[in-house]
């Protein structure tokens, strides 16, 4: 199997996933563990993922149990299926060992129809992506032809519409009601809210929630270009006119900014890891966070009344915004982690406490 990049680079390796082609945006993640959570994160839809950690697959994949009515998926899985378009690793460990493992990573990928490549110098590939920025790519089976026209830019389509649920779902039975706009939400957002005693009303990205009764609005993470979510942005504007408290997470940070009148832009190679340092501008404290995003808020475009809340300590890009008076705020990172540090889980605590 080979990985073709749009800049003309061809990388050869050995297939350990499904014997099919895969096309998308080639991105890298610097996390050391957590590939089960990462592969099932809907934010990775349309992307060929390069894992920089040299050995992958050594702890296998746990048993997947479908979510029952009113309860989220079990821990480790952030959605009901693998979301990536393809996987590239340096060394795949076919022999796995873990008390909860039920199958190998390769078996899971094959069963899910996802191509994967091993035997790649992922350090060199990551350096290329850092130097040139995100590149379009395609995983091609041996003997299969390849043409430049075969490259597909996932950001030119509405990826959120593909990963968002079609129907409303309800979790928990707490008194505090949170409306979760699912633009590709990680399951641990639901688990985190329910664990804090909230009732979660989970709705599709284009759902008209103007007549729903809820205490707070949570805008989830998700894939692709936030400008594609026009229907969500319009609904957020309505909620803001009603004075509803809002918390955005990842893509939700960008959607809240767009609803407020700010703008977003595409990062050169994005932030995808569990070790991104973010500084709280109010306190000066730096937190280590879990992230996965290719777009960011243009801080200079924030209108009057808004301010930056967090910034990335590495490149200074925006990592959160808040209104100076109104109960509207958002973060670019993932306070629910999974995988990653739980340093910022307090953001959920503060949000729920403000609704009581």
pLDDT at 145: 67
pLDDT at 284: 98
**Exposure string for 168-184, b = 16+ CB within 10 A, e = fewer:** ebebbeeebbbbbbbbb
- Set 78, 271, 334, 338: catalytic member: 334
* Domain-wise residue ranges, the chain: 2-156, 159-354
Catalytic residue flag (residue 334): yes
Specify the CATH number of the domain 2-156: 3.50.30.20
pLDDT at 68: 80
140, 192, 286 from 310: Cα distances, Å: 41, 21, 9
Architecture of domain 159-354: 3-Layer(aba) Sandwich (3.40)
- Set 183, 250, 278, 338: catalytic member: 250
pLDDT per residue rounded down to tens, the chain (356 residues): 999 999 999 999 999 999 999 999 999 999 999 999 999 999 999 999 999 999 999 999 999 988 888 889 888 999 999 999 999 999 999 999 999 999 999 999 999 999 999 999 999 999 999 999 999 999 998 877 666 568 989 999 999 999 999 999 999 999 999 999 999 999 999 999 999 999 999 999 999 998 899 999 999 999 999 999 999 999 999 999 999 999 999 999 999 999 999 999 999 999 999 999 999 999 999 999 999 999 999 999 999 999 999 999 999 999 999 999 999 999 999 999 999 999 999 999 999 999 98
pTM comes to 0.95
Residue 251's nearest CA partner among 27, 44, 8, 33 is: 44
pLDDT at 144: 74
Catalytic residue flag (residue 250): yes
CB distance 153 to 136 below 8 Å: yes
Catalytic residue flag (residue 293): no
pLDDT at 149: 62
- Set 78, 187, 319, 336: catalytic member: 336
């Amino acid at each position: 199997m080979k990985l073709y990049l749009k800049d003309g680079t061809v990388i050869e390796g050995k297939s350990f996933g499904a014997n099919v082609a895969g096309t998308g945006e080639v991105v890298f993640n610097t996390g050391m563990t957590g590939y089960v959570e990462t592969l099932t994160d809907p934010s990775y839809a349309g992307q060929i993922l390069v894992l920089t950690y040299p050995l992958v697959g050594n702890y296998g994949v746990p048993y997947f149990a479908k979510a029952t009515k009113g309860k989220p998926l079990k821990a480790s899985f952030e959605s009901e299926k693998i979301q990536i378009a393809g996987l590239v690793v340096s060394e795949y460990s076919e022999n796995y060992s873990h008390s909860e493992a039920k199958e190998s990573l390769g078996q899971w990928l094959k069963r899910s129809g996802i191509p994967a490549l091993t035997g790649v110098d992922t350090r060199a590939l990551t350096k290329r992506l850092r130097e040139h920025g995100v590149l379009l790519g395609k995983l091609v089976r041996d003997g299969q032809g390849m043409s430049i026209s075969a490259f597909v830019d996932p950001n030119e389509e509405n990826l959120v519409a593909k990963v968002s649920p079609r129907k409303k779902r309800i979790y928990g039975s707490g008194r505090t009601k949170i409306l979760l706009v699912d633009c590709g939400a990680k399951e641990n957002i639901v688990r985190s809210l329910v664990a804090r005693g909230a009732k979660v009303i989970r709705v599709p990205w284009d759902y008209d929630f103007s007549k729903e009764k809820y205490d707070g609005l949570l805008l989830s993470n998700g894939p692709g270009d936030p400008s594609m979510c026009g229907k969500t942005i319009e609904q957020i504007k309505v909620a803001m006119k009603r004075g509803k408290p809002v918390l955005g997470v990842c893509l939700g940070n960008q959607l809240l900014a767009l609803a407020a009148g700010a703008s977003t832009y595409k990062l050169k190679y994005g932030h995808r890891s569990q070790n991104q340092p973010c500084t709280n501008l109010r306190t000066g404290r730096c937190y280590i966070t879990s992230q996965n995003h290719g777009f960011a808020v243009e801080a200079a475009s924030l209108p009057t009344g808004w301010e930056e809340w967090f910034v990335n300590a590495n490149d200074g890009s925006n990592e959160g915004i808040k209104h100076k008076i109104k109960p509207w705020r958002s973060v670019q990172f993932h306070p629910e982690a999974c995988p990653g540090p739980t340093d910022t889980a307090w953001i959920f605590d503060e949000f729920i406490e403000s609704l009581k």
